[in-house]
Amino acid sequence: MKRYALPLLAAVLLATGCNQNNSATEQSAPAGEVKAPEAGAADASEAAPGVSGSTNTEAPAAPAAKPVELAFRFAPVKDAEGGPARNTAYLVLSGGESREIDLGPFAGKPDQVDAAEAKRANFPGSMLIGFRSYDPNSGTSNDLAVLPDASGRIRIVQRRLEEGADKQPEFQTSREIPMPAGTELRAKK
């Protein structure tokens, strides 16, 4: 009897743990099912004579887009070893909700890239803001760009360029930051 109890208990736990059915509170109505209004209920579009009311044909106004401005802030890194100067980069979001996102340490003081420099250096065309840092000791440059994403996220992309490399590497997504719906992203002036 004991020999069958443990496998049976494991099977029951596995079956209940793998239940993929949604509970009653999580289920949504089928797409084609629409509740009909009760016959005795008054229609909101049928206002009394002489009283102005809205009709059902008017669409509700869409909420206004919330602007969020993006900027960089750089802070020197305290290096006990006395090596080359390094700075920590932060992405500063100001607007609806203000916050700073640590992007990590970079060699020297990174230079912000304007539209003309971005085009010459093959930064992504949809870039809002970006910067480039250069380490003269290693001959390596790090590029970072902040892009809007079609899914309502901020996408941070980076690439590392080695001095003397034959081919310029592609930008790789390093981080995605979700934003509230209706957020309008723009570079801080």
Rounded CA-CA distance 86/110 in Å is 9
Domain-embedded: residue 127: yes
pLDDT tens track for 68-86: 899 999 999 886 576 668 8
pLDDT tens track for 95-139: 877 899 999 999 888 999 998 999 998 999 999 999 999 988 888
3-state secondary structure 108-122: CCCEECCHHHHHHCC
Domain-embedded: residue 147: yes
Domain-embedded: residue 40: no
Domain-embedded: residue 138: yes
Domain-embedded: residue 122: yes
* Phi, psi angles (nearest 5°) of residue 35: -75, 130
Domain-embedded: residue 35: no
Domain-embedded: residue 25: no
State which residues form the domain around 91.
66-187
Which tokens sit at 114?
Answer: 């304007």
Please name the amino acid found at residue 121. Answer: A
Domain-embedded: residue 120: yes
pLDDT tens track for 8-27: 655 555 555 544 444 443 44
- Report the predicted TM-score, pTM, of the whole model to 2 decimal places: 0.63
Strand partners, 91: 72, 101
How many domains is the chain partitioned into structurally?
A: 1
